[in-house]
Chain A
Amino acid sequence: MDLIATILVDGLIYAGWLFIVSVGLTLVFGVLNILNIAHGSLYAIGAYASASLVGAYFAAGGEAFPFGSYLALILAAVLVAVVLGPLLERGLLRYFYGRDEVLNVLVTYAVFLILEDVMKLIWGVNPYFVYEPYTLLGDVEIGPLFYVGYDFAVIAAAIIVGLAVWLTLNRTQVGKVVLAVIHDAEISQTMGVNVKRIYLGAFMAGAFLAALGGALTAPMISVTPGLGVNVIIVAFAVVIIGGLGSVPGAAIGALMVGISRAASVHLVPEAELFIIYFVMAIVLMFRPEGLFAKTQARKI
């Protein structure tokens, strides 16, 4: 297979995974104006929850219909969003709305650390494995290389997630209300919008997307403590490239990171880590707000 095609396929697979993780982060920032460091923990909890649920599914005789394990993956992400979303947003974050952004970063960082320990208390330090969903979709032969069908399912999931978020925001009444809240929460409230509910919904959606990223990753890795640390760093790079709060920006950012990283691994493997942050630095040199963020006048 041509090298360029290999780089594109590898880049797309990585970008698909990265987009699912990043779009939730950018959504929460866009609506709540909170840079949620605990997004990495929600990703890791999604991975653990899916490992537990898929394991329980097969233990309960799921071999008869193994494809049902994909539903278990999605259900795990829903559970994380339903349980932790309200707990974090209503129980903690709402007390910090309108406060300094740095304070919110510190608060979510504290949540991140707490959740890291909570995961150890619940799941221990031993790894969890759920290989079955990873191999169910067979192989895909592209040129001389074999890919796992599951990798392309993750790309498909990313496209579905991207379209769903974009269409919800831009083509539905709920989306218009959310955009109004993003534009000005106070005016929206005076117009009768239940801003609290919008904040809660947006945070739960962000938590679902983080957990979905973890749930879809779980079948291809061993789920161990510390899973969320690396993810949150690279997800930040993606949303900063695309512009904080921009869904198309997260997509473009994920593609830029995915493809540049793949090119580096194939051509200059020593620069694999460097290239992600090099791309970010170049973008920020010319677009300090990121590629898709709107320049905003500072409110006085």
Chain B
Amino acid sequence: MIKKHITGALGAALLAGGLAGPAAAQDDTFKIGVITFLSGQAAESFGVPAWNGGKLLVDMLNEGGKLPAPYDTKGFGGMNIEVVVIDEAGGATKQVQEFRNLVQREEVDAVVGYVSSGNCLAVPPVADELKAFTILYDCGTPRVFEDGAFEYVFRTAAHATMDNVSLARYLKSRDFDVPSFAGLNQDYAWGQDSWADFTGAMKQLYPDAEVKTALFPKFGAGQYGTEISALLRERPALVHSSNWGGDLQGFLIQATARGLHKRSQVVLAAGDHVIPQLGNKMPDGIFLGARGVNGLAANARGGELKELTDTLWMAYEDEYDTFPVQAPFRMWQALLGLKTAVEKAMADNGGKKPTDEELAAAMKGLSWDAPSGRIEMMLADGHQAIQPNAIGTTKWNEETGKMELVDVEYYAARCVNPPAGIKSADWLAQGFPGAECD
């Protein structure tokens, strides 16, 4: 009797799952594969907050009418949004396999993913091979489209050159004297590239500034005592760091205790995401960016996008009891871009669910509004976004018990991103040709 029951249950399960094969794509549902770090060191800083924000947006879109126009319509062109979330941890080889699974077995209609630059470099060739529409929502390396061209792959966030050009422009616009500077960046592509971008931008804006030292502790080092001694000894006017997550938190805790921020101006290329954890342990007077007009800088901006920004801000605070930092903003700009592209493609094909080819055609050169500003797919033949950026100065507000960003300066996308047809390194070396600053 028991055996019979088990056999029956197994049979039902097999019919429902394995034997029936993957569920056929339905026209009333748009299925997205989201890949982001749910474990590992990037989870707490980027992966988890990104999907926390993404989940809120998907729920709001599926409900309909929760967002200001033009995003007040239900789902994607009326289709319900379904999401499969995959952990990005495990390295590029695993991610390529996960990508194939999402496209071929899960039959997703679009893939949105990747914080790691390594994964962003590994997946696009496979996406083109499978002709699978893919959005890179977070990673920073300019190499994805500067060293390659992909038909089905788009990046909806600006690449990392913007972060460091903005920092250098902030220093200049505030007449900050920089006779010398130093850097402490993680010893892998992100840290090395950020330092190269920053020194490239400084060479143009502060040609006489001397580089005192460039330190590259290994990723996850944790202990920075010796590096901080070196920075204190060298006495640079400014210390640049693109560290993130636990590495940035550890560096700030140790550097602050030894007074580094009192001797040198500390500038952080992507430092906003540690503010919720550090609170008033983040010293006042740090110049920092958030890789776009994200987090506190977006909240302080106001203007036409205030309603959209407030929607994200309040929903996130209500749900998670903390404010959204940069990663949820980037997830929102990717998903809102995808919604815009889907609906544009449906307008062109008579209202049917778009194919990958139709989606790619609609996304190419697209522009749309996000809480982080106007996103324009302007580089790499319409596959790479540019966006505005902001830099501000940290200041703890004793009354509210919250960290604020003061003296925020906003930069137009065309001021801090290279124009089409020129590589970032060349743009920096040639003194920002074509930059359009106010």
Asked whether A222 and B226 contact (CB < 8 A) given A126-B44, A127-B44, A230-B221, the answer is: no
**Smallest distance from the beta carbon of B191 to chain A beta carbons, Å?**
13
Residues 177-231 (chain B) with a chain A CB within 8 angstroms: 187, 213-218, 220-223, 225-227, 229-230
Query: Are B250 and A262 in contact, CB atoms less than 8 angstroms apart?
Result: no
Query: Are A6 and B229 in contact, CB atoms less than 8 angstroms apart?
Result: yes
Query: Are A6 and B225 in contact, CB atoms less than 8 angstroms apart?
Result: no
Asked whether A10 and B225 contact (CB < 8 A) given A222-B253, A224-B245, the answer is: yes
Report the stretch among A128-136, A170-178, A181-189 that lies at the interface: A128-136
Query: Are B233 and A129 in contact, CB atoms less than 8 angstroms apart?
Result: no
Asked whether A220 and B250 contact (CB < 8 A) given A230-B218, A269-B213, the answer is: yes
**Smallest distance from the beta carbon of A30 to chain B beta carbons, Å?**
26
Asked whether A226 and B225 contact (CB < 8 A) given A221-B246, A265-B230, the answer is: no
The size class of the interface chain B forms with chain A is 35 or more
Does B277 make an interface contact (CB < 8 A)?
Answer: yes
Asked whether A222 and B277 contact (CB < 8 A) given A126-B44, A127-B249, A148-B257, the answer is: yes
The size class of the interface chain A forms with chain B is 35 or more
Annotate B232-265 by CB proximity to A: 1 below 8 A, 0 otherwise: 1100000000000110011001100111000000
Query: Are A151 and B225 in contact, CB atoms less than 8 angstroms apart?
Result: yes
Residue in A10, A126, A224, A273 with the greatest tally of chain B CB atoms within 10 Å: A224
Query: Are B253 and A131 in contact, CB atoms less than 8 angstroms apart?
Result: yes
- The closest CB in chain A to the CB of B37 belongs to A125
Query: Which residue numbers of B lie inside 8 Å of A, CB to CB?
Result: 38-41, 43-44, 48, 187, 213-218, 220-223, 225-227, 229-230, 232-233, 245-246, 249-250, 253-254, 257-259, 277-278, 281
Query: Which residue numbers of A lie inside 8 Å of B, CB to CB?
Result: 1, 3, 6, 9-11, 13-14, 17, 120, 125-127, 129, 131, 134-135, 139, 144-148, 151, 217, 220-222, 224-227, 229-230, 261-262, 265-266, 269-270, 272-273
Given contacts A129-B249, A225-B41, A273-B187, 19 further A-B contacts (CB under 8 A): A1-B233, A6-B229, A10-B225, A14-B223, A127-B44, A127-B249, A129-B253, A129-B277, A131-B253, A145-B258, A147-B225, A220-B223, A221-B250, A221-B253, A222-B245, A222-B253, A225-B40, A230-B222, A270-B216
Q: Can you list 25 residue pairs at the A/B interface with Cβ under 8 Å?
A: A6-B229, A10-B225, A14-B223, A125-B43, A127-B246, A129-B277, A131-B281, A134-B253, A139-B259, A144-B233, A145-B229, A146-B258, A146-B259, A220-B250, A221-B222, A222-B249, A222-B250, A224-B245, A224-B246, A225-B39, A225-B40, A229-B220, A265-B226, A269-B213, A270-B216
